[in-house]
Amino acid sequence: MLFLSCENSMKDIQKVTFNKNSPDEVIEDFHVTFIDSGVSSVEIFAKRTEVYKKKQSTTIFKDSVRVNFFSKNGDLTSTLFAQYGNINFTSGNMFVQDSVRLYNFKKKQTLESEELHWNKKTKSVYTNSPVVVKTPDAYFYGDGIKTDQEFNEYTFIKPRGTINLKAKDSVSN
């Protein structure tokens, strides 16, 4: 009878199985809710999430990400969609890109861009990239925009295009 044995050191095993660039965690169907004063304030969903804890705590969202923003009363006010995103939970800064849309439910308006930044602490959304804002009555274009996370009011950094305004009916006395 013959017995064979081999022994590998931990360094040899890590050479084969360990990649220092691999995520610390991989989560499928990620869902997190931030609560302020007992009411949901922000909710994040992603199909695939990779968490990196080295250097900076960064979470990467792949294969779509959705962020729901709520009013102080807990009502859903706006939703941000993108194909890719990353967030640093320590700083509260999130970057999303690829087919980005921010939708305000009450005003039925949509902001479209290829990338946006969201700051959790200031509750602001901004980009320097080209954007389109679609309202029920018009389309507005610009290079860059600043708005609140609920997308209630916004300011174009460099507006572009022509805007046709309707004259309101006036009553003569």
- The amino acid at 62: K
Contact 112, 132 (CB under 8 A): yes
Give residue 173's pLDDT band: very low, low, confident or very high (50, 70, 90). very low
Instruction: Tell me the three-class secondary structure of 32-71, residue by residue.
Output: EEEEECCEEEEEEEEEEEEEECCCCCEEEEEEEEEEEEEC
pLDDT digits (tens, 9 = 90+) for 55-102: 778 999 999 999 999 999 999 999 999 999 999 988 889 999 999 999
**160 pLDDT more than 80:** yes
Domains of the chain: 23-160 (2.60.450.10)
Task: Name the residue with tokens 């004063």.
Answer: 37
The values of phi and psi at residue 31, to 5°, are -150, 125
Confidence label for 152 from pLDDT (cuts 50, 70 and 90): very high
Euclidean distance between CA atoms 155 and 140, whole angstroms: 11
Quote the percentage of the chain above a pLDDT of 90: 67
Q: Please check the confidence at residue 170 and state whether its pLDDT lies above 80.
A: no
pTM recorded for the entire structure: 0.81
User: Which residues 6+ apart lie within 8 Å of 134 measured at CB?
Assistant: 109, 110, 112
| Interval 26-36: pLDDT, tens | 999 999 998 98
At 12 the three-state DSSP class reads helix
Q: Classify 17 as helix, strand or coil.
A: helix
pLDDT of res. 17? 59
Mean pLDDT of 143-153: 96
